[in-house]
Amino acid sequence: MIASVRGVVTAILHDSAVVEVGGVGMRVLCTPGTLAGLRTGAEARLATTLIVREDSLTLFGFADEDEKQLFELLLTANGVGPRIAQAVLAVHQPDVVRRALAGGEVAVLTAVPGIGKRGAEKMIVELKDKIGPVGLAGPGSSGLLNGAWQEQVRQGVLALGWTASQADQAVAAVAETIDGETPPVPVLLRQAIRLLGKTR
């Protein structure tokens, strides 16, 4: 099991980053929010989960251990694969997901692309007793840089399956809501996804 990787980020793609570890470039699939916190040429540490299949070895990366633990918990639910679990973390912060599972908040889970009402209900039944203590809502990750947030949010929306025109509309709509200091990119991305979810 590869529990984490640390090294220089040599490339950032729309759904992953390449981290050079001991001379080996490791491709790590990440959420748009995690990718937004990485910079090419800078060192980074990602908590990771290795998913082993008959025909593939896929490494998923997370900004911290909390996200990783929730990802692995989501995978224990029937019908939830790595892509759905990753999409959940792209849309919501871990504490929001835990509160939704504990409180039976179906609407929160169905805001994630790929999760319908029945799937959300099944997740709640299977996971609500496994999540442990649920904390209060915390602030967004302020450590992520906000430079060129429009393109970062746009790429994040595209990575989740929306079209270029939808991504542009979402970025424009989010920009109109900003008054004063720009929030962290993950916060803006989640806002864009919520707006798009209402138009589906």
Residue 139 lies in a domain: no
Q: What is the pLDDT of residue 140?
A: 39
Q: Which two tokens stand for residue 69?
A: 């633990």
CA distance 166 to 156: 12
Residues 35 and 17 in one domain: yes
Please give the single-letter amino acid code of residue 52. Answer: V
Domain of 111 in residue numbering reads as 65-127
> Is 151 exposed, middle or buried (CB count within 10 Å of its CB: 0-12, 13-18, 19+)?
exposed
Q: What is the pLDDT of residue 148?
A: 60
Model pTM score: 0.69
Residues 69 and 121 in one domain: yes
Residues 41 and 71 in one domain: no
Q: What is the pLDDT of residue 198?
A: 58
Q: What is the pLDDT of residue 141?
A: 36
Q: What is the pLDDT of residue 41?
A: 95
CA distance 59 to 167: 27
Residues 70 and 58 in one domain: no
Please provide the DSSP assignment of 119-180 as one string: HHHHHHHHHTTTS----------TTS--TTHHHHHHHHHHHTT--HHHHHHHHHHHHHH--S
Q: What is the pLDDT of residue 115?
A: 92
Spans of the chain, pLDDT less than 70: 132-148, 198-200
As for how many domains the chain has, the answer is: 3
